Structure 1
Amino acid sequence: MSIFEAIIFGIVQGLTEFLPISSTAHIVILQWLFGTDFEGLTFEIILHVASVLALLLFFRHDVIAIIRGFFRFLFQKDTNERASFFFGLYLLVATAITGVLGLIVEDYAEAFLKTPLVIGGALLLTGIFLLIIENIHYRYTRSVNEMNLMDAVIIGLAQTLAVIPGISRSGSTLITALAVGIERKTAVRFSFLLAIPVIAGSSLLAIEDVFQGGFAEGNVVALILSFAVTFVFSLIGIKWLIRWLEKSKLYYFAIYCFAIGFVVIFFLDPASV
């Protein structure tokens, strides 16, 4: 992998990880275009670790408040921290569901689902759901204090679909949270914070690859550069998406998913690039 490719991969990973357009699909498409085949998981781990560190930095105050409130309510029965306790509990439940189901289907997804038809079809499906959710008008939406355990279960199940390249993790959690009637601000916050344990956990499970010679798969300088670029552009992507969702709609992401999906299905043949 060249320095140029490392920079491009870092930019794309950083910008797409938290947008509802599937970072996995974009990384696979880039591999096809560049004719790059990553041996092992080191490169993917590095990109994901950079993204989750950016997320931790951006939401550091939220993370600290939730952890502190969770244990204060649990051990000190501080009723002022009830909301933080249950928000943290729902994050744990959704993470556990995703983790267990993800481990079951991950190998199958890796082996059989990274094809133009599957990825393109999944992007089209993501676009369809983005359009649907923007056309649902709720008379009443629930705040963070009105979330319940079933919300966490449903969101965790939906997030599991993201093992399919082209189904966005952030998109699936955001769309599902909105669909069950959670207000947009809370849905966005829950989706972002849920990414921290999910991405960190999947990276830790695959970290053994790094210690088994994974760094030999590529230029160490390129790997470090990709990490730095991903970190910076992940921060940009997080800030941009939050501001976008405060003012704009999800239609534009849907249109983008449709465009990329059709291109992948009808014009992109990995064997010929």
Structure 2
Amino acid sequence: MSIVEAFIFGVVQGIAEFLPISSTAHIVIAQLLFGYSFPGLSFEVILHIGSIVAVVLYFRRDIIQLIQAFFRYITQKRREDRPEFFFAIYIVIATIITGLLGIMLEDVLAETIKTPAFIAASLTVTGFFLILIERYHKIGDRTEKEMNVFDAVIVGLAQTLAVLPGISRSGSTLIAALYAGLNRPTAVRFSFLLSIPVILGSSVLAFDDLRTGSLASIGTMPLIIALVASFITSWIGIVWLINFLNKGRLIYFALYCFLLAILVVTLVDPAATIQTE
């Protein structure tokens, strides 16, 4: 892998990870365009590490506050810590649902989902639901204090679909949270904090692949470049999305998904697919 390719893969991962446009689809499309298949899952782990470090550092105060409130409520039963305690519980519930069902879904579909036609269709579905939630569903006003188990289950189930390339993880969780009646700030916070255990979990599942030495074929410098590019662009993506959602509209992401789906169908060889080496 060249340094330029590593940089592009890092940028693609970082920008697309937290925007509702599916980072998996973008990574697969980039591989198809370059005619390059990652040697196993090791390189994807490196890309995800950059994103996870970015989101942990950005939300470090939220994470510390959440952990402190969680254990304070257990030991002291402080009433003011109750919302944060259950917020953490809801993250755990959604993560478990995503983890169990996501593994089952991925095992069933395997590599058949990494084709241009499937990706284009999934991007179209993502765009459709972004428009649906933006135009035809009234955004709720419920905050963390009004959240319940049903919200966590709905978001967890929606996030499970993100195992499909083209179905955005951040998009699916945002859509589900807004559909459940949460307000935008709560939906965004829940989506971002939920991404931490999910991305960590998917990376841990791929750690065994690191033992194969597949990273050696990529090279040290490309790995460093990809990691740094993923971290920096993930940070930018987080900041930009939060600011955009406060004053922007999801429909723009929907239009992008539709455009990308058209480009995939017209420019990428329909017989192309990604095979793990």
TM-score range, shorter chain: over 0.9
Alignment check: 8 A CA contact 1:41 1:209 kept: yes
The aligned counterpart of 2:40 is 40
Residues 1:196 and 2:196 aligned together:
yes
Q: Aligned partner of 1:48: which letter?
A: H
Mapped to 2, the partners of 1:229 and 1:63 lie a distance apart of 24
Alignment check: 8 A CA contact 1:123 1:167 kept: yes
Q: Aligned partner of 1:177: which letter?
A: A
Residues 1:71 and 2:71 aligned together:
yes
The aligned counterpart of 2:80 is 80
The aligned counterpart of 2:98 is 98
Structure 1, 165-174 or 140-149: larger mean CA deviation: 140-149
Mapped to 2, the partners of 1:225 and 1:110 lie a distance apart of 29
* Percent of residue pairs identical: 55
Alignment check: 8 A CA contact 1:17 1:51 kept: yes
Structure 1, 142-151 or 107-116: larger mean CA deviation: 107-116
The aligned counterpart of 2:227 is 227
The aligned counterpart of 1:138 is 138
Please show how residues 1-273 of structure 1 align to structure 2 within 5 Å: 1-138=1-138, 140-269=140-269
Q: Match of 2:228, SS?
A: helix
Alignment check: 8 A CA contact 2:139 2:178 kept: no
Cα 1:164–1:137 shift into 2, 3 Å: closer
Cα 1:227–1:267 shift into 2, 3 Å: same
Alignment check: 8 A CA contact 1:177 1:187 kept: yes
**1:67-112 CA-partner distances (Å, limit 9, x unpaired):** 1111111122122200110000000000000001111122334321
Alignment check: 8 A CA contact 1:162 1:168 kept: yes
Q: TM-score, normalised by structure 2?
A: 0.95
Any stretches of 5+ residues in structure 1 without a counterpart?
Answer: none
Q: Matched residue pairs, number? A: 273
Mapped to 2, the partners of 1:137 and 1:118 lie a distance apart of 27
Any stretches of 5+ residues in structure 2 without a counterpart?
Answer: none
Alignment check: 8 A CA contact 1:91 1:194 kept: yes
Give the C-alpha shift of residue 26 in structure 1: 0.3
Q: Match of 1:15, SS?
A: helix
Alignment check: 8 A CA contact 2:94 2:156 kept: yes
Mapped to 1, the partners of 2:191 and 2:140 lie a distance apart of 20
